[in-house]
Chain A
Amino acid sequence: NAGVTQTPKFRILKIGQSMTLQCTQDMNHNYMYWYRQDPGMGLKLIYYSVGAGITDKGEVPNGYNVSRSTTEDFPLRLELAAPSQTSVYFCASSHLDRQETQYFGPGTRLLVL
């Protein structure tokens, strides 16, 4: 199993550009999450999904969109990149009955200039 994979690993965007951060898990997990982690800070939940076709906002959803058309994939979309979105983005997944054990992807480092 590859676990949770994220692409790209690193990206530089100009203000106003858009991009999609990809996340895929091969563990058949129901739950998937997107977090951002700013330097020296903990994780903040952006969006989460409890299953295909269902998404919900977390703490900091503004400026982002998600979709969950399949169990495996949970892409995060930035429409108009802003410097405040410079961060490390982690995708995670967990099983329905073991939500506390979240499997994290390696992260995507995003720099918006």
Chain B
Amino acid sequence: EDKVVQSPLSLVVHEGDTVTLNCSYEVTNFRSLLWYKQEKKAPTFLFMLTSSGIEKKSGRLSSILDKKELFSILNITATQTGDSAIYLCAVLRDDKIIFGKGTRLHILP
């Protein structure tokens, strides 16, 4: 059975801290790993990772994939209160996307 597991499920840090969110997967016919940010409503796309070892960056966010270990991390440096959200990891396979449960991140001012 395909599964995407995220850890931790919940995280509370202070503004300025650096956080690392984890995502492991066991999915047949893997195509890509995706990260989404979900604030109050629908998820918004952050990154797509297809190849191992190539870091994707967008401002203070970065992510990398390890296809041998079936693992990805999402790093957020110098966190701000606006980073508070649920971060969803998902795997694209065939014609559908399988989501993890998400990590709920709360940044304290």
Interface 1/0 per residue, A90-111 and B, CB below 8 Å: 1010000001111011110000
A contact residues around B98 at 8 Å (CB): 45, 59
Interface of B is mostly: strand
| Contact A99–B101 (Cβ < 8 Å) | no
B contact residues around A101 at 8 Å (CB): 45, 48
Q: Which residues from 10 to 46 on chain A have a C-beta closer than 8 Å to any C-beta of chain B?
A: 31, 33, 35, 40-45
B contact residues around A99 at 8 Å (CB): 31, 92, 95, 97
Interface of A is mostly: strand
Q: Give A99 to B98 CA distance when docked, in angstroms.
A: 12
| Contact B104–A43 (Cβ < 8 Å) | no
Interface size, A (range): 20 to 34
Closest Cβ–Cβ distance, residue A33 to chain B (whole Å) = 7
Q: Which residues of B contact A (CB under 8 A)?
A: 4, 6, 31-32, 34, 41-45, 48, 86, 88, 90, 92, 95-102, 104
Q: Which residues of A contact B (CB under 8 A)?
A: 31, 33, 35, 40-45, 48, 50, 56, 58-59, 90, 92, 99-102, 104-107
